[in-house]
Amino acid sequence: MFDGLKDKLSSFREDVEASTDADEASESEDADEESASGSAAGTAEPADADSPVDAASPDEETDGSADPSTFQRAKAFATGRIIIEEEDLEEPLWDLEMALLESDVEMSVAEQILETVRETMLGESRKQVETTGELVERALHDALLDVIAVGQFDFEERIAEAEKPLTIVFTGVNGVGKTTTIAKLSEWLADRGYSSVLANGDTYRAGANEQIAEHADRLDRDLISHDQGGDPAAVIYDGVEYAAANDVDVVLGDTAGRLHTSDDLMAQLEKIDRVVDPDMTLFVDEAVAGQDAVNRAKEFNEAAEIDGAVLTKADADSSGGAAISVAYVTGKPILFLGTGQGYDDLARFDPEALVDSLLGEE
């Protein structure tokens, strides 16, 4: 999963290492020349990494606002440290930006990642016993986590603490796997001891009742549905009433696939919000849709506020752009990833685990 993005992040680390390795070799030569010059004059003393140098320490010599001089860099090297400059990062950061955009990472998200990496590393003074690769990984880890983990909350804890029945409504465009995601989440809830009822608010699409009824039969769940053309809000309201009367924990409400520009369908969603007042509205889209999924998530959130997102087909996505970007552009978390065709193929989204995976740390 997201193998293409993993490779590009690895390339960035290698590029920075190559750049700083070249500088390190140059600094070593400068330090040797300075030492030889000092010895010839009979004034040189051996460098001691544990004793102060005659000017500010390497960490104090630069605050990232100006490049350290060749002398400062050579002196830092002599005391066992390396300073990372803008020139070391310029080309690798450009390549990283192109790599992120090619992986369908949204522009503002890519810019935020780059800025965090730059701020973390520019002027960084590291001990020679550390590697530049370790610094890069640390900077990338923090930058990626900052954008991926936006808005995260403990979904299971919220289910446990909510007054029952809890109502979750699913929205998104047609064909992205909303109905299958509802069935998967019903199974996920059952595995944790929660009962659920399915309510088909997708009342206009031909075959919608049959599709969700097939899932309900396979999972042995009750289904609330009306005839085609019925009021979606009324269907989900009936689902809530049924759940309250039968001690069912969670109502999972499907809705018609819609575009944010479809006024009639958006009005239906607004009516569902008004009549049912769902506890959560989850946006569903395909991870493989990349930038399109990111744009739709932003537009849906602006049209009818969402509480979180589910990305389907994550197992088939090599770019990772949607997973990187959706939370940052909406301010709402990704909660689940669809990772296959089975009812058990629904994984809680773990930002820390995803970052570790992208950086090859798992």
Going by the annotation, the residues of the binding site for GTP are: 172-179, 254-258, 312-315
DSSP symbol at 324: H
Q: Report the distance separating Cα 199 and Cα 222, nearest Å.
A: 9
Q: Report the distance separating Cα 177 and Cα 310, nearest Å.
A: 10
> What percent of the chain is helix, strand and coil (3-state, nearest 5)?
55, 15, 30
Q: Report the distance separating Cα 36 and Cα 39, nearest Å.
A: 5
Distance set, CA 124 to CA 68, 152, 244 (Å): 11, 30, 59
CB count in 10 Å sphere of residue 299: 16
- Judge whether 203 and 231 are in contact, CB under 8 Å: yes
User: Per-residue b/e over 319-330, b at no fewer than 16 CB within 10 Å?
Assistant: bbbbbbbbbbbb
Q: Which two tokens stand for residue 68?
A: 């350290």
- Judge whether 251 and 237 are in contact, CB under 8 Å: no
- Judge whether 79 and 126 are in contact, CB under 8 Å: no
**What's at 184, amino acid-wise?**
K
Parallel/antiparallel/unpaired status of strands 223-224 and 196-201 = parallel
Q: Which two tokens stand for residue 64?
A: 């990232």
Q: Of 245, 240, 237, 252, which is closest to residue 189 (Cα–Cα)? A: 252
User: Per-residue b/e over 130-144, b at no fewer than 16 CB within 10 Å?
Assistant: ebbeebbbbbbbebb
End-to-end Cα spacing for the chain: 13
- Judge whether 49 and 77 are in contact, CB under 8 Å: no
Residue ranges for the binding site? 172-179, 254-258, 312-315
